[in-house]
Structure 1
């Protein structure tokens, strides 16, 4: 069974970006992010995928409403949660959901873990990380000089195979 893990850098306001860029930069956060997702498939929305450079060693599973319209070497284009999970399973046992906002919300009920970098920023942005809900609990806290990474565990994840197609 595939384990889905959300990963995001989140400001105190809940902001994750403005739809075009991430309005902050922390070297240590970027390193820990890349170290976690390296050599794993990443589930990403089409707009986020188009706006970022590929992370070395990852296989992008790009969620879009029109998967047949896209073709890119080394990427898989899908339109549903079950199709994304199947694509992740073809590559390994763990997949990281890396955004954007609607993709986090879509995969939240099915995710087993979430790694949230709690950043000291107070920006208001048009894109926010979804509320995890009451079935999520703190499993671990990783402290860095400028921020913390909180590892959450979903106590009752839904079966992604039963997600709407």
Structure 2
């Protein structure tokens, strides 16, 4: 069974970016992020995928409304949660959901864990991280000099095989 994990850097305002860039940079956050997702499949939206550099050893599972229009070595293009989970399963037993906003929202009900870097930023922008909901509980806190990564666990993740989208 595939375990889905969300990972995001989130400002105090809930912001994750402006649709083009991430409006801050923390070396330690970038490093812990890369260390966690390295050598795993990553589920990512098409626009986010096109705007980022591939992380060592990752296999992008790119969610798009028209997967047949794309072909890229070492990446899989899908349009549904179920197809994304199947693509993750073909690469390993853990998949990291890395954004953007609509992808986080799409996969949130099926995710088992979330690793949220709580950053001391107060940026206002158009892209935000979704509310986790009441089924999520804090499992651990990982302290860094300038921020904290809070690890959440979903007490009732949905089965992606029953996903309609």
> Which TM-score bucket, shorter chain as reference?
over 0.9
- Name structure 2 gaps, 5 residues minimum: none
Q: In the TM superposition, what is the alpha-carbon distance from 1:56 to its structure 2 partner?
A: 1.0
Give the Cα–Cα distance (whole angstroms) in 2 for the partners of residues 125 and 140 of structure 1: 28
Tell me whether 1:12 sits opposite 2:17 in the alignment: no
Tell me whether 1:106 sits opposite 2:106 in the alignment: yes
Offset from partner CA, 1:103-133 (integer Å, 9 cap, x none): 0000000000000000000000100000000
What secondary structure sits across from 1:98 in the alignment? Answer: strand
Give the Cα–Cα distance (whole angstroms) in 2 for the partners of residues 84 and 118 of structure 1: 27
Give the Cα–Cα distance (whole angstroms) in 1 for the partners of residues 155 and 69 of structure 2: 37
Q: How does 1:1-165 map to 2 (within 5 A)?
A: 1-165=1-165
TM (normalized to structure 1)? 0.99
Give the Cα–Cα distance (whole angstroms) in 2 for the partners of residues 68 and 124 of structure 1: 35
Moved over 2 A (4+): none
Give the Cα–Cα distance (whole angstroms) in 1 for the partners of residues 32 and 74 of structure 2: 23
TM (normalized to structure 2)? 0.99
What is the RMSD computed on CA atoms of the aligned residues? 0.4
